[in-house]
Amino acid sequence: MNDTIDEFESIFRRADKQVLSFVDIPISNLAFVTDSSPADSEAALQTVQPLLSRLESVDNWRIIAGERYHTVAELLAEIDNQRTDLIVTYRHLQERSFIPQHSLGVYLDVLTQTTSIPVLVLPGTAAQPVSVSGAL
């Protein structure tokens, strides 16, 4: 009889989880990270902005183009240089020759693991970006 009670209690405790609730987090500073030239990055941001139209609270759309960083440490320094609430980027930044299918790439791996800033990953890769205009 004791075994049955312990089993029931164990199942009951596993079902007892902290209730999550929706919290609206204002995003006012967005960093758009690319490995392109500043002009190409600006054009890409113009394409992405309609996709993010629900982010009405964004005051500062900052572009971090490829020429502003050459290492992961430089990219992290660029992001930390100004307050950032959201990072928008794509897979395989600064990688052209070897692109594994099932990886985010070195830069994105580090961004998602070392910063507490949310990262929005766009479809495609740096070498083969996917147009987001079809998603609008």
Q: pTM of the entire structure? A: 0.76
Q: Please give the chain's pLDDT, 136 residues, in tens.
A: 455 566 767 776 777 777 788 888 889 999 999 999 999 999 999 988 888 888 888 999 999 999 999 999 999 999 999 999 999 998 888 887 766 777 888 899 999 999 999 999 988 766 666 666 554 4
CA distance linking residue 131 with residue 136, whole number of Å: 10
Cα 112 → chain centroid: 7
